[in-house]
Amino acid sequence: MAVVVRNIRRADAGSVAAFGDYGVATVHEAQGRTGVMQPYMRPIWPGARIAGSAATVLAHPNDNWMLHVVMELCRPGDIIVVALSSPNTNGMFGDLLAESAMAQGVQGLVIDAGVRDVASLQEMGFPVWSRAISAQGTIKATPGSVNVPVVCAGARVTPGDVIVADDDGVVVVPRTKAAEVAEKSRQREASEASKREYFKSGKLGLDLYEMRGKLADAGLVYVDSLDDLEG
Amino acid sequence: MAVVVRNIRRADAGSVAAFGDYGVATVHEAQGRTGVMQPYMRPIWPGARIAGSAATVLAHPNDNWMLHVVMELCRPGDIIVVALSSPNTNGMFGDLLAESAMAQGVQGLVIDAGVRDVASLQEMGFPVWSRAISAQGTIKATPGSVNVPVVCAGARVTPGDVIVADDDGVVVVPRTKAAEVAEKSRQREASEASKREYFKSGKLGLDLYEMRGKLADAGLVYVDSLDDLEG
Amino acid sequence: MAVVVRNIRRADAGSVAAFGDYGVATVHEAQGRTGVMQPYMRPIWPGARIAGSAATVLAHPNDNWMLHVVMELCRPGDIIVVALSSPNTNGMFGDLLAESAMAQGVQGLVIDAGVRDVASLQEMGFPVWSRAISAQGTIKATPGSVNVPVVCAGARVTPGDVIVADDDGVVVVPRTKAAEVAEKSRQREASEASKREYFKSGKLGLDLYEMRGKLADAGLVYVDSLDDLEG
Amino acid sequence: MAVVVRNIRRADAGSVAAFGDYGVATVHEAQGRTGVMQPYMRPIWPGARIAGSAATVLAHPNDNWMLHVVMELCRPGDIIVVALSSPNTNGMFGDLLAESAMAQGVQGLVIDAGVRDVASLQEMGFPVWSRAISAQGTIKATPGSVNVPVVCAGARVTPGDVIVADDDGVVVVPRTKAAEVAEKSRQREASEASKREYFKSGKLGLDLYEMRGKLADAGLVYVDSLDDLEG
Amino acid sequence: MAVVVRNIRRADAGSVAAFGDYGVATVHEAQGRTGVMQPYMRPIWPGARIAGSAATVLAHPNDNWMLHVVMELCRPGDIIVVALSSPNTNGMFGDLLAESAMAQGVQGLVIDAGVRDVASLQEMGFPVWSRAISAQGTIKATPGSVNVPVVCAGARVTPGDVIVADDDGVVVVPRTKAAEVAEKSRQREASEASKREYFKSGKLGLDLYEMRGKLADAGLVYVDSLDDLEG
Amino acid sequence: MAVVVRNIRRADAGSVAAFGDYGVATVHEAQGRTGVMQPYMRPIWPGARIAGSAATVLAHPNDNWMLHVVMELCRPGDIIVVALSSPNTNGMFGDLLAESAMAQGVQGLVIDAGVRDVASLQEMGFPVWSRAISAQGTIKATPGSVNVPVVCAGARVTPGDVIVADDDGVVVVPRTKAAEVAEKSRQREASEASKREYFKSGKLGLDLYEMRGKLADAGLVYVDSLDDLEG
CB atoms within 10 A of CB F210: 9
Average confidence (pLDDT) over C137-154: 95
pLDDT at E164: 98
- Can you tell me the distance from the alpha carbon of E155 to that of A48, in angstroms, rounded to the nearest whole number? 40
Question: If you average pLDDT over every residue of chain E, what do you get?
Answer: 96
Please report the sign of the dihedral spanned by the C-alpha atoms of residue B205, residue B210, residue B215, residue B218: negative
- Can you tell me the distance from the alpha carbon of F119 to that of F126, in angstroms, rounded to the nearest whole number? 10
Query: Which residues in chain B are contacts of D38 at CB distance < 8 A?
Result: 87
- Can you tell me the distance from the alpha carbon of E69 to that of E6, in angstroms, rounded to the nearest whole number? 11
**Higher-pLDDT residue of B230, F114:** F114
Phi, psi for A39 (deg, rounded to 5) = -70, -5
Residues of A with CB under 8 A from a CB of E: 60-63, 85-90, 134, 136, 139, 141-142
Nearest-Cα distance to chain A for F152, in Å, is 8
Smallest CA-to-CA distance from B28 within B130, B196, B165 is with B165
- Can you tell me the distance from the alpha carbon of D52 to that of D159, in angstroms, rounded to the nearest whole number? 11
* pTM metric for this prediction: 0.95
Dihedral in degrees, nearest 10, Cα atoms B207, B208, B214, B219: -50
Tens digit of pLDDT for each residue in C158-192? 999 999 999 999 999 999 999 999 999 999 999 99
pLDDT at D61: 94
Q: How confident is the model at residue E229 (pLDDT cuts 50, 70, 90)?
A: confident
Nearest-Cα distance to chain E for C144, in Å, is 11
Nearest CB among F202, F215, F226 relative to E103 is that of F202
Q: Is the pLDDT of residue A225 over 50?
A: yes
pLDDT at E230: 65
Verify whether the Cβ–Cβ distance E206 to D69 is below 8 Å: yes
pLDDT at F101: 98
Query: Under a CB-based contact definition with an 8 Å cutoff, are residues B136 and A36 in contact?
Result: yes
Distances (CA, A) of B158 to A226, B83, C198, E111, F157: 10, 11, 62, 46, 45
- Which residues of chain D have a pLDDT value below 70? 230-231
C79 bridge partner residues: C54, C108
Q: How confident is the model at residue B230 (pLDDT cuts 50, 70, 90)?
A: low
pLDDT at C231: 45
Query: SS3 string of B97-162?
Result: HHHHHHHCCCCEEEEEEEECCHHHHHHHCCCEEEEEECCCCCECCCCCEECCCEEECCEEECCCCE
Average confidence (pLDDT) over F70-95: 96
Nearest CB among F103, F137, F140 relative to D25 is that of F137
- Can you tell me the distance from the alpha carbon of B157 to that of B172, in angstroms, rounded to the nearest whole number? 7
Nearest CB among E204, E221, E225 relative to D71 is that of E204
Distances (CA, A) of B18 to B23, B178, B185, D13: 11, 9, 9, 48
- Percent of chain B past pLDDT 70, that is, above it, reads 99
Question: If you average pLDDT over every residue of chain A, what do you get?
Answer: 96
pLDDT at C227: 85
Distances (CA, A) of B150 to B146, B159, D34: 10, 8, 11
pLDDT at C1: 72
- Can you tell me the distance from the alpha carbon of C23 to that of A135, in angstroms, rounded to the nearest whole number? 9
Verify whether the Cβ–Cβ distance C154 to E155 is below 8 Å: no
pLDDT at A1: 72
Question: If you average pLDDT over every residue of chain B, what do you get?
Answer: 96
Q: Is the pLDDT of residue B68 over 80?
A: yes
Smallest CA-to-CA distance from A64 within A108, A105, A114 is with A114
Helices within E149-177 (DSSP H only): none
Size of interface B-D (CB pairs under 8 A): 23
Tens digit of pLDDT for each residue in C58-116? 999 999 999 999 999 999 999 999 999 999 999 999 999 999 999 999 999 999 999 99
Distances (CA, A) of D203 to E4, F7, F80: 65, 20, 18
Smallest CA-to-CA distance from A150 within A53, A21, A56 is with A56
Query: Under a CB-based contact definition with an 8 Å cutoff, are residues C140 and C94 in contact?
Result: no
- Can you tell me the distance from the alpha carbon of D186 to that of A56, in angstroms, rounded to the nearest whole number? 56
Nearest-Cα distance to chain A for C200, in Å, is 6
pLDDT at D228: 83
Tens digit of pLDDT for each residue in F115-124? 999 999 999 9
Q: Is the pLDDT of residue E1 over 80?
A: no
Tens digit of pLDDT for each residue in B83-113? 999 999 999 999 999 999 999 999 999 999 9
Buried b vs exposed e over A150-175: b needs ≥16 C-beta within 10 Å?
Answer: bbbbbbbbbbbbbbbbbbbbbbbbbb
Average confidence (pLDDT) over A122-133: 98
Q: How confident is the model at residue B231 (pLDDT cuts 50, 70, 90)?
A: very low
Q: Which amino acid, one-letter code, is at C210?
A: E
Q: How confident is the model at residue F228 (pLDDT cuts 50, 70, 90)?
A: confident
pLDDT at F229: 79
- Can you tell me the distance from the alpha carbon of C204 to that of A69, in angstroms, rounded to the nearest whole number? 9
pLDDT at B229: 79
Nearest-Cα distance to chain B for D102, in Å, is 30
In sequence order, the 6+-apart residues with CB closer than 8 A to the CB of D207 are: none
Nearest CB among B90, B134, B142 relative to F139 is that of B142
Query: Under a CB-based contact definition with an 8 Å cutoff, are residues C29 and C110 in contact?
Result: no
Query: Which residues in chain B are contacts of A39 at CB distance < 8 A?
Result: 89, 114, 132-134, 136
In sequence order, the 6+-apart residues with CB closer than 8 A to the CB of C118 are: B167, B168, C44, C45, C128, C133
State the best of F191, F200, F212, F215 to mutate against chain E, taking most chain E CBs within 10 Å: F215
Which residue from E minimizes the CA distance to D89? Answer: E39
pLDDT at D231: 45
Nearest CB among C85, C134, C141 relative to D142 is that of C141
3-class secondary structure, D208: helix
Q: Is the pLDDT of residue C226 over 90?
A: no
Query: Which residues in chain F are contacts of B60 at CB distance < 8 A?
Result: 62, 139
Question: If you average pLDDT over every residue of chain C, what do you get?
Answer: 96
